[in-house]
Amino acid sequence: MNTKPQRLLLFFCLLAGSYTAQAKADAACTAALPETMRAARIQAAGGPEALRVERVPLPAVGAGDVLVRVRYASVNPVDWKLQESGRLNFPATPGGDFAGEVVGLGAGVSGVACGDLVAGVVDQRARSGSYAEYVAVPATEIVPKPAAFTLQEAAAYPTVSIAAWRYMVLAAGLKAGERVLIHGGAGGVGTVAVQIAKARGAYVITTASARNHDYVRSLGADEAIDYRSTRFEDVVKNVDVVIDTIGGDTLARSGQVLRDGGRLVSMTARIPEAMCADGRIVCPATPPWDVRQGLEGVAPLIAAGKLQINIDGIYTLDNIAAAQQHNRSGSTRGKVVVDMSSGADAAAGEGVAAARVPLQAYLDGHATGQARHFRRAFAADALLVGHKDGKYRQWPASEYIAQSASGQPPRDEARRQRRIRSITVTGDVATAVLELDYPDMKAIDHMSVLKYGDEWRIAVKAYDAHTPEAPQ
Ligand SMILES: NC(=O)c1ccc[n+]([C@@H]2O[C@H](COP(=O)([O-])OP(=O)(O)OC[C@H]3O[C@@H](n4cnc5c(N)ncnc54)[C@H](OP(=O)(O)O)[C@@H]3O)[C@@H](O)[C@H]2O)c1
């Protein structure tokens, strides 16, 4: 941009861009908000079964706050632990993690515009939590939605990323070339910790049940130990760092595997004084919880494609109890997500939530043009069969993915609509009906979704698609 005409062009482009952004922001901010919202509520200390979806007023937006329309929330163990132990301000709406759209700004907020897509964590002890259609949260506790993530992924990553960054990077100071043992590598925090450790150049050893060994290796683990059949201290020695996400006996036995001067951190409990007292190992202090610091810490890894989030189940708000039960089982692979936009599923439970994952990935493939979503959606040998404009075709999903994954979102994405109309699960088979409504194509997809081992994938897509007639 050296010549005057080029500089002028740039100026006008920027001006036009800022007007467009401003117009979008004003449109979103001036849009009428409802007086009430749907939220999961709990009256007193209790488990998932005590949650009820109710209509309540929207949370108040104070100075320095933003109001976010929540598109997805995610479940963390801290949610049900606070709820069950009575450490919420009852009656309460639990939930911390969320991703959605900014729809209101409190006094004094700058650097955030209405219409922005953001992710963050709301302090569920002090405020109305994220298992709701709206949250009000300090502007300091949100970040822009990472461009490489879908909204579900953006809702899934905050708490686990902040925790992994805080304990493993800030407290333990894990460095390139060090050997780290991460307990619970397949869980929410473990999934992120393994990838961060790998990206920092560490040698990563992790514990997980055998069914999750391929999974943790796919995240970058160099060694996986089946904690159900092997005592980790029998096979691991002289590591530089241990990251504990399990607690109890696992934490108690962890000192044995550290080299002299090795560092031990635990996310689950205060480390017993005796373990660190003789000075053989170091138990570093943990810096305070800081949403921005943690999420900005992992941002470059996300942008570089080095940090991915596995979604293990997607539940509707009406099935919030099943979502918490799923996480409470202690065997979540990655994260459990709550979709605020969909109505109730015909049936609750893990089958429906797991079958929803590839269906949502299929819709995400359409929305983003990214092949990784389509690959997550379809079985390797999946088949498409159907009519487009009355012409019959039968073809492999691999061909469909190659054709559909342009790498870019469609230019008219804002005018495209997609939804999952229904899901029914019978044993290890699910059938679902999806609807795609685009300016240049209308389609109904009947999906047969199968459980392959631990994961659900679309096995057959039978479709009926047509090109609408152009308006006269
Ligand atoms: N202090 C903080 O800031 C902070 C922040 C976040 C989380 N946390 C805490 O950290 C802990 C982990 O959180 P999370 O979100 O990762 O939980 P999570 O997703 O529910 O963890 C589930 C995982 O734990 C694994 N697991 C269960 N027992 C195990 C064992 N004995 N050894 C190894 N792995 C085992 C399971 O693997 P298999 O299915 O293979 O058995 C499963 O993948 C929770 O206690 C949570 O409250 C603390």
**152 in contact with ligand 1, CB cutoff 6 A:** no
286 within ligand 1 shell (Cβ under 6 A): no
Query: What is residue 217's predicted lDDT score, i.e. its pLDDT?
Result: 98
Query: Ligand 1: which residue has its CA nearest to atom 11?
Result: 245
Asked if residue 324 has its Cβ within 6 Å of ligand 1, the reply is no
- Any atom of ligand 1 within 6 Å of the Cβ of 206: no
pLDDT at 220: 98
* Residue 324 predicted with pLDDT over 70: yes
Instruction: Report the separation in Å between the CA atom of 226 and the middle of ligand 1, taken as the mean of its atom positions.
Output: 15
The pick from 257, 289, 331 for probing ligand 1's pocket by mutation, whose C-beta has the most ligand atoms within 8 angstroms, reads 331
Atom of ligand 1 nearest to the CA of 333: 43
Determine whether the shortest distance from the Cβ of 254 to ligand 1 is under 6 A: no
Q: Give yes or no for residue 186 CB within 6 A of ligand 1.
A: yes
pLDDT digits (tens, 9 = 90+) for 140-149: 999 999 999 9
Give CA–CA dist 76/323, Å, rounded.
10
Q: Closest by alpha carbon to 75, among 369, 322, 270? A: 322
Identify the pLDDT of residue 342: 65
Output the CA angle 79-82-86, nearest 5 degrees. 140
Atom of ligand 1 lying closest to residue 327 CA: 20
Place of tokens 């429906």: 352
d(CA 107, CA 372): 41
Which tens digit of pLDDT belongs to each residue from 74-122?
999 999 999 999 999 999 999 999 999 999 999 999 999 999 999 999 9
Ligand 1 pocket, 246 CB below 6 A? yes
Neighbouring CB atoms inside 10 A of 76's CB total: 26
For 105-119, 331-345, 403-417, which range has the lowest pLDDT when averaged over its residues?
Answer: 331-345
The preferred substitution site among 189, 254, 289 for testing ligand 1, maximizing ligand atoms within 8 Å of CB, is 189
Between the CA of 268 and the centroid of ligand 1 the distance, in Å, is 9
With a 6 Å cutoff on the Cβ, whether 76 touches ligand 1 is yes
Alpha carbons 167 and 424: distance in angstroms, whole number: 41
The dihedral formed by the CA atoms of 88, 91, 97 and 102, expressed in degrees to the nearest 10: -130
Tokens coding 76: 């963390």
Q: Which of 4-8, 52-56, 313-317, 410-414 has the lowest mean pLDDT?
A: 4-8
Dump the DSSP string for 308-360. ---EEEEEEGGGHHHHHHHHHTT--SSEEEEESSS---SS-SHHHHHHHHHHH
Taking residue 30's Cβ as centre, other Cβ atoms within 10 Å add up to 8
Flag whether pLDDT at 21 surpasses 50: no
Could you tell me if the CB of 196 is within 6 A of ligand 1? no
In this prediction, what percent of the chain has a pLDDT beyond 90?
A: 88
Average pLDDT over residues 37-54: 98
Mean pLDDT of 198-211: 98
Ordered by where they begin, the domains of the chain are: 33-148 (3.90.180.10), 160-277 (3.40.50.720), 345-466 (3.10.450.50)
Instruction: Say if residues 60 and 324 touch (Cβ distance below 8 Å).
Output: no
Ligand 1 nearest-atom number relative to CA 186: 43
- Nearest protein Cα to ligand 1, atom 33: 184
DSSP state of 136: E
State the Cα–Cα distance between residues 367 and 415, nearest whole angstrom. Answer: 11
Which ligand 1 atom is at minimum distance from the Cα of 212? 40
pLDDT confidence of residue 302: 98
| Averaged pLDDT score across all residues of the chain | 92
pLDDT at 150 over 70: yes
pTM of structure? 0.90
- Give the residue, out of 229, 254, 267, with the most ligand 1 atoms within 8 A of its beta carbon, to mutate for a pocket test: 267
Reported as a single tens digit per residue, the pLDDT across 235-278 is 999 999 999 999 999 999 999 999 999 999 999 999 998 999 88
Residue found by looking up tokens 């089982």 in the block: 329
